[in-house]
Structure 1
Amino acid sequence: MAVLDQTVLLCVYGFFSNLRPSEPFLTAYLLGPDKNLTESQVVNEVYPVWTYSYLVLLFPIFLATDFLRYKPVLVLQATSLVVTYVMLLKVQGVLAMQLLEFFFGLATASEVAYYSYIYSVVEPKHYQRVTGYCRSMALFGSAAGSLTGQLLVSLAKAQLLHLVIITLTTAAVAFLAPWFLPMPKRSLFFHKSLEMEEKPRSTTALLEKAEDLETQLPLHSQAISTIPRSTETGSLHSGLVEVLQVLLADFLKCYRCPSLLAWSLWWALATCGYFQVINYAQALWENIRPSQDNEIYNGYVETLATLLGALAALLVGCLPVCWSVWGELALCVLSLLMALCVFAMDTLRNIWLCYSSYVLFRAIYMLLITVATYQIAASLNMQRYALVFGVNTFLALLLQSLLTVVVVDSAGLGLDVFTQFLIYGGYFVVISVVFLLAGLYKLASRRRSKQQQEQVLANGRAESQCDSPPVS
Structure 2
Amino acid sequence: MDCWKGAIGHSWIYPTLIICANGFFSTMRPSESFLTPYLTGPDKNLTTEEVTNQIFPVWTYSYLALLFPVFLITDYMRYKPILLLQGISFIVTYLLLLFAHGVLAMQLVEFFYGLATATEVAYYAYIYSVVSTDHYQRVTSYCRSITLVAATVAAVLGQLLVSLADVSYFHLNVITLTSVSLAFVCSFALPMPQKSMFFHRKDVSEPLPAPEKAVPPLGSSRPSSYQEDKGSVSADRASTLEQQADNAKPCNQVLRVLVQLSKDLRDCYSSRKLLYWSLWWALATAGFNQVLNYIQVLWDFRAPSHSSAVYNGAVEAIATFLGSATSMAVGYIQVNWDLPGELALGIFSAMDAGSLFLMHFTDNIWACYAGYLVFKACYMLLITIATFQIAVNLSMERYALMFGFNNFIALLIQTILTVVVVDSKGLGLDISTQFFIYGSYFTFIAGIFLIRSIYTITSTKCRNTNGTGESTDQLQWRQSMMASDSAGGCTS
TM-score (normalised: structure 2)? 0.86
2:149 to 129, 132, 140: 140
1:283-332 Cα shifts (integer Å, max 9, x gaps): 00001101101111000000010011000000002335431011111111
1:63-105 Cα shifts (integer Å, max 9, x gaps): 0011000000000011100110000001011111111101000
1:110-143 Cα shifts (integer Å, max 9, x gaps): 0000011110111111011001111111111111
Alignment of 1:267-306 (within 5 A): 267-306=281-320
Match of residue 158 from structure 2: 149
Query: 1:224 Cα deviation (Å)?
Result: 11
1:422 to 423, 436, 441: 436
How far, CA to CA, are the matches of 1:373 and 1:337 in structure 2?
20
Query: 1:447 Cα deviation (Å)?
Result: 2.4
Match of residue 466 from structure 1: none
How far, CA to CA, are the matches of 2:82 and 2:331 in structure 1?
34
Match of residue 359 from structure 2: 345
How far, CA to CA, are the matches of 2:104 and 2:361 in structure 1?
33
How far, CA to CA, are the matches of 1:335 and 1:448 in structure 2?
27
Match of residue 255 from structure 1: 269
Match of residue 468 from structure 1: none
Matched AA of 2:458: A
Alignment of 1:325-344 (within 5 A): 325-344=339-358
1:218-265 Cα shifts (integer Å, max 9, x gaps): 453659999966975623111111001110110000001011011100
**Structure 1 227/344 Cα, relative in aligned 2: closer, same or farther at 3 Å?**
farther
Matched AA of 2:213: H
Is residue 99 of structure 2 the alignment partner of residue 90 of structure 1?
Answer: yes
How far, CA to CA, are the matches of 1:319 and 1:222 in structure 2?
27
Match of residue 395 from structure 1: 409
How far, CA to CA, are the matches of 1:101 and 1:92 in structure 2?
13
Is residue 193 of structure 2 the alignment partner of residue 184 of structure 1?
Answer: yes
| Structure 2 unaligned residues grouped into runs of 5+ | 1-8, 227-241, 480-492
How far, CA to CA, are the matches of 1:321 and 1:438 in structure 2?
19
Matched AA of 1:355: Y
Matched AA of 2:358: A
Kept after mapping to 1: 8 A contact 2:28/2:179: yes
Matched AA of 2:286: C
Alignment of 1:99-248 (within 5 A): 99-192=108-201, 196-197=202-203, 218-220=211-213, 232=245, 234-248=248-262
Kept after mapping to 2: 8 A contact 1:190/1:227: no
RMSD of the TM alignment (CA)?
2.5
**Structure 1 93/227 Cα, relative in aligned 2: closer, same or farther at 3 Å?**
farther
Matched AA of 1:220: K
Match of residue 384 from structure 1: 398
Kept after mapping to 2: 8 A contact 1:227/1:239: no
How far, CA to CA, are the matches of 1:224 and 1:117 in structure 2?
12
Match of residue 316 from structure 1: 330
How far, CA to CA, are the matches of 1:390 and 1:254 in structure 2?
13
SS in 2 for 1:318: coil
Matched AA of 1:353: A
Kept after mapping to 2: 8 A contact 1:267/1:392: yes
Matched AA of 2:276: A
Asked which structure has the greater CA Rg, the reply is: 2
How far, CA to CA, are the matches of 1:22 and 1:331 in structure 2?
33
Matched AA of 2:408: F
State the identity as a percent.
51
**How many residues align structurally?**
443
Query: 1:449 Cα deviation (Å)?
Result: 2.5
Kept after mapping to 2: 8 A contact 1:200/1:224: no
How far, CA to CA, are the matches of 1:222 and 1:118 in structure 2?
16
SS in 1 for 2:166: coil
Matched AA of 1:415: L
Matched AA of 1:15: F
Kept after mapping to 1: 8 A contact 2:324/2:380: yes
1:255-279 Cα shifts (integer Å, max 9, x gaps): 0101101110000000011011111
**Structure 1 218/134 Cα, relative in aligned 2: closer, same or farther at 3 Å?**
closer
Kept after mapping to 1: 8 A contact 2:198/2:204: no
Is residue 44 of structure 2 the alignment partner of residue 35 of structure 1?
Answer: yes
SS in 2 for 1:274: helix
| Structure 1 unaligned residues grouped into runs of 5+ | 202-206, 208-213, 462-472
How far, CA to CA, are the matches of 1:227 and 1:98 in structure 2?
44
How far, CA to CA, are the matches of 1:319 and 1:452 in structure 2?
32
Matched AA of 2:42: P
SS in 1 for 2:307: coil
How far, CA to CA, are the matches of 1:52 and 1:149 in structure 2?
28
